[in-house]
Amino acid sequence: MTTTPRFRRRALAAVVTASWLTLSACGATQPGQADQSQNGQSQSGQNQSEASEVAAAEILDQYGLADMDARGVIEHLDTMPVAERPSTLLASVQPTELVLTDTAGGSIATLPMPDEQFYLAVAPYEDQTHDCLFHSLTTCLGEMAGEPVDITVTDEAGQTVLDETRTAYDNGFVGLWLPRDLTGTLTVEHDGKSSTVPIATGDDDLTCLTTAHLT
């Protein structure tokens, strides 16, 4: 597996804004739309690869993410206290790539996700939730920040893939690194309440789970 980032540049702030709306974790975009919009520019991107890499390196360095791969960036941003998260950095976890958008400078950088791992962000709730497809590391919030939860993931064959007690991050999410191409169920338990929901970790699946209603 390579950890060399794959980077692209957007010149206009308007384009960056539109791109973010497409990639937003709390929107209605389907997986792969970001790739479709960018693949048409692959030839011109090759001609500008040197400038693109410089621009992307500047993004990562500006936000203290230099030399990190996708997993490192995700874990750094998702566990960061909400009050300390950069207001001009948007980070969308897609099934196959992490998309970083610098809204101040008008640039986008993409990092490939691990080949064998899938990141699923889970925000269990009791009273209030929000629609979420792709996890936004710097914007979306759940209601259970700092709360302990018991999480069990089981595959289709009934085998336990994960069984852990975790503490929700300051944003109310718990981040799970799961095997790719898994289909199964996730059970969350907290304070005598529980929720079981179906999950899948393929290239067309969602990285944000906000439907685990604890009852």
Whether residue 135 sits in one domain with residue 77: no
Higher pLDDT residue, 160 or 41?
160
Whether residue 84 sits in one domain with residue 55: yes
What is the percent of the chain with per-residue pLDDT over 90, rounded to a whole number? Answer: 68
Radius of gyration of the chain (CA): 17
Which residues 6+ apart lie within 8 Å of 176 measured at CB?
119, 120, 121, 122, 151, 153, 162
Q: What is the pTM of this model?
A: 0.80
What does the mean pLDDT of the chain come to?
Answer: 83
Whether residue 154 sits in one domain with residue 107: no
State which residues form the domain around 161: 117-209
Average pLDDT over every residue of 45-74: 77
pLDDT for 72-118, tens place per residue? 999 999 999 999 999 999 999 999 999 999 999 888 888 999 999 99
Whether residue 107 sits in one domain with residue 28: yes
Whether residue 93 sits in one domain with residue 40: yes
Whether residue 92 sits in one domain with residue 14: yes
